[in-house]
Chains A and B, each alone.
Chain A
Amino acid sequence: MSAGQAGTERLWTTAADGRRVAVWRTSGGGAPGGPVVVLAAGFARRMRHVGAVALYLARNSAVVYRYDPLDHVGLSDGEIRDYTFTSSLSSMRAVVDLAVERERAAAVTLVAASLAGRVAYRLAGLDPRVAAVATLVGVVDVRRTLVAVLGADYTTYELAELPADVAFEQYRIDPRPLWLDHRDHGWTSIEGTIDDLRRTSAPVTNFWAADDDWVRPEDVERAFEEGTGGPRRLLELPFGQHDLSGNPVAARVVMRALTEVVVGDAVPGGQVADPSFEEIVELAVSERRAESAQLAEDLEGTRR
C-alpha cells in the first residue's frame, strides 16, 4: 500500500451466539487521528457496496470497519431468508467490540444506511462506546417502510397467517422471524425509534432524501424532534431518492458531506480529499472479486 492509498484487511469476528461475522478494515491514505468508524450497508446490500464510503472516510483519516451482518447477504454466517433486526444488532455490536479492541479506541462512530440505521439508533442508546451516529436515509418507522417495500403490513397478521416467504428484490424473506422480532423487541414502530433516540446522548445526524419512497420526511422530522437525547442534525438531499448509490453524481455530494460530518476537524488540511473516479471503479471491481474468492473458499471448505 503506497502513501496516500487506502488499503483493506479482511478480518473475522464472532457474535455473541458464536457465529462468524466477516469484517473489512480500511485505513490509510491520510494523516492518523481520525475517528474509528463502524460502517453498515443497507438491507440486501453487501459491505462491498459501501466501499466508496469507506474509501472517502479512510482517505480523510478515519479507520473504517465494515461488515456483512448475520442472516443476510454477504460473507457472514446465515442467510437473508432468516433476517432479523436483533441478529443485525448482534453483528454490529460484535464489530464495535472488534474495532475498539484492535484500535485501542475508547469510542467509535456508527455510520449506517437505510434499515441498518434503525439498528444503529438502538445500539447507540445501549452502548456508551458509541460517540456519534451518522445515518444515510436512516429508516425511522420500520413498519411503514416495510409496507412501502413489501406492499402489506405483516405486523397486523397473526403469526400463523403469515406466508412462508415474501419477495424483496431477488431474495425470499421469511416474515415469521421478523414478526417475532417485532413482538419481542419492538423494532418496527416509530415510537420505538424515538425511545432509542431519547436514550442516545451521542450526536446523531441523518441524511434524508426528499424523493424517498420508503422513508417519509415527516416521520424523520418527528423522530428527530422527539428523540432529543443529545444533539440532532438533519441534512436534506433535495430530489434525492432512497437508493443513493443509484445516482453516483449525487452520491459524491453525500459522501463528501458525510465525511465532513464524521471526520469533522480531523480532516487533514480542513478540506475533504476526494478519491478519484478510477479509484472508486477499481475498488468496486476488485472487492467484487475478493468477495467471490472468499465465497468460493467457503464453499470449498464446506465440501471438505
Chain B
Amino acid sequence: MTRTDVASGVVRSSLPGVPEIDRLVFQTPDCFRLPREQISQLRPRLIREAVRFHRDSCPEYGSFLGQLGFDPDDIADERDLDRVPQFPASVYKRRPVTSTPPAEVVQTFHSSGTSGRLSSVPRDEATLQRLLGSIRAGLEMLEPLTGEGDPEDNVVLLNLGPPRSAAGSLWFSYVMTLVEILAPTHHYGTAATVRYAEAADDLAGVLAAGKRAGVIGSPLAVRRLAEYCLANNRTVAGGDAVFVMTGGGWKQPTGEELSRIELDTLLMKAFGVHDASQLRDAFNQVEMNSVLLECEQRRKHLPPWLYAVTRDPRDLAPLPRGAAGLLSFVDPTAGSFPCFVLSDDIGVVHEPGCPCGRTTETVEITRRVRRSQELGCALQTERLQAERQLADLLEADPGPRGSG
C-alpha cells in the first residue's frame, strides 16, 4: 500500500515482510544459544506453518495428511511435534515430490547412493539459500578455527570434491561446492579421481602464505589425502592453522565403516594439528535441508528451527531423548518439498546440555540401517503405504513436475 504524507509530500510504501523462518535462519546471531523457552515457542510455530504450507501446496503430502487425519493446527507445543507425519526417505526415490511450480525449481538434486534407486529432491532458491543459511549460522562454531575476522580474507578452503560446474545434480558434491560462497576455495575432484598431490602442495602453500586452511571432503577422501602426505613426505605442521571438515558417508568401498578415532590419529599426524577439535564432521542428506555442524566438543547441534526425534524401527513409536533409534527430522526451512522425513540412519538425539554452552539438542549418528534385519513391520508397512499413495496420485495425475 502506498500513501502520501500531505504536509511533507513524502510517499511511503512497504515491501513484503521478512518471514519468521528467514529472520531466524539469517538474522539471528548466536541462534544456537537462544533461551530454551524461546526455542520451545518458535519451533512449533514455524513447523505448524510449514506443515500447513506443504499440506496446501504438495498434493502428495496433503493427501497423506488427509488419510492420517492430521491437522497442522493441532500442533500446540513441542510435545506435538512427534506426531507430524513424515515421509520415509524412500518416497523421494520414486520421483520428485514437490510443493513448488517447476519454473521455480533451481535444480533437482540426487542422493549419492551406490545401490538401488536414488532420491530426487527439487529445490527452489529460498530453500537453497536457507540450506546455506544453516551453514552460515553454524559457522560461529568454527570461529576458533577460522581465526579472527572475515573468513573471506583469512581462510582458503581445499575442497577434495569437484567444482560446482562438475558437481551436477549430485547433492553431496553440490553442497560441498557451496562453501565457495563463504571463502576462497580450490577444488581437486574430478569425475574419476582426486588430485591429492596438488591438494598437498596447496595446503603447504596456504600455510606458507600465513593463511588458515580448511580441508573439506568425505572422510574417505580426507583419509586418502592424509595417507598421500604421509607416504610422500608432504606432511605439514598445521598447528592451529588447519582444520578439517568431513561430510558424507563413513562407509569404505569394502562396506566397512571408517573408524573416527583412527582417522583422527592419521589426520593429526599428517596435518600436524594440535587438537582433535580441529577435525569436525557435518551431517546432511538430500532429503534434509539443514546442515548439522559439530561444535568444539564435536557434537552435532540441531539448529533451533529443526526438530529431531528417534523412533522405534519396529513400530515407529517416538523414543525418549538419549535412546538409539531410527532418526527422523521435521525441517521447516524447505519450501520446495515437504522436509519431514524418516531417515535411514540409526542414531541418538541428546537433550540440550552440551558442555559448549549452546542450548540446542545434539544428534549422534551411529550408522545406516541394515535394512532386512532391522526394519520392523511398521516401518515397512508405512513405507509401502506412503509409496502406494504416491503411486496412486501419480497415476491420477501423471503430468510432469519437479524438473529443474
Residue in A211, A237, A249 whose beta carbon sits within 8 Å of that of B126 in the complex: A249
Question: Quick one: closest A residue to B22, CB to CB?
Answer: A249
* B23 on the A face (CB < 8 A): yes
Given known contacts A232-B10, A247-B22, A257 and B27 CB-to-CB distance under 8 angstroms: no
How many B residues touch A, CB cutoff 8 Å? 36
Quick one: which of A224, A225, A281 contacts B181, CB cutoff 8 A?
Answer: A281
Query: A234 an interface residue at 8 Å Cβ cutoff?
Result: yes
Whether a CB of chain A sits under 8 angstroms from the CB of B317 is no
Closest chain-A Cβ to B127's Cβ sits at a distance in Å of 10
Whole-angstrom distance between the alpha carbons of A254 and B15 in the complex? 8
B25 to chain A, nearest CB (A): 8
Taking a contact as CB atoms under 8 Å apart, the answer to whether B10 and A277 are in contact is no
Q: Which residues of A257-281 have CB atoms within 8 Å of chain B's CB atoms?
A: 257, 276-278, 281
Q: How far is the CA of A257 from the CA of B2 in the complex (A)?
A: 13
B169-220 with Cβ < 8 A to chain A: 178, 180-181, 184
B79 at the interface (CB under 8 A from A): no
Residue of B nearest to A230 (CB): B9
Q: B131-158 interface mask toward A, CB cutoff 8 Å, 1 = contact, 0 = none?
A: 0110000000000000011101100000
B8 at the binding interface (Cβ < 8 Å): yes
Q: Contact at B8–A232, with CB atoms within 8 Å?
A: yes
In the complex, what's the smallest C-beta–C-beta distance from B115 to chain A, in angstroms? 30
Judging by beta carbons under 8 Å apart, are A250 and B18 in contact? Answer: yes
* A240 & B18 in contact (Cβ 8 Å cutoff): yes
Summed over the interface, the residue pairs from A and B with CB atoms below 8 Å come to a total of 101
Q: How far is the CA of A238 from the CA of B16 in the complex (A)?
A: 7
User: Chain A, 218-249, contact with B by CB distance < 8 Å: what is the 0/1 string?
Assistant: 00000011101001111111111100001111
Write out the residue numbers on chain A whose beta carbons fall within 8 Å of the beta carbon of B71.
none
Tell me if A228 and B13 are in contact (CB < 8 A). Answer: no
Partner of B12, one of A231, A236, A276: A236
Known A-B contacts A232-B8, A232-B9, A288-B152; A238 and B15 likewise in contact (beta carbons under 8 Å): yes
Contacts of A236 in B (CB 8 A): 12-15
B37 touches A (CB below 8 Å): no
Interface pair B106/A257, CB less than 8 Å apart: no
Q: Does B125 contact A (CB under 8 A)?
A: yes
* 12 chain-A/chain-B pairs, Cβ below 8 angstroms: A225-B8, A226-B8, A232-B9, A234-B11, A238-B14, A238-B17, A246-B26, A247-B18, A277-B128, A278-B106, A281-B164, A285-B181
* List of 3 A-B pairs having minimum Cβ-Cβ separation, nearest first: A170-B149, A238-B17, A247-B26
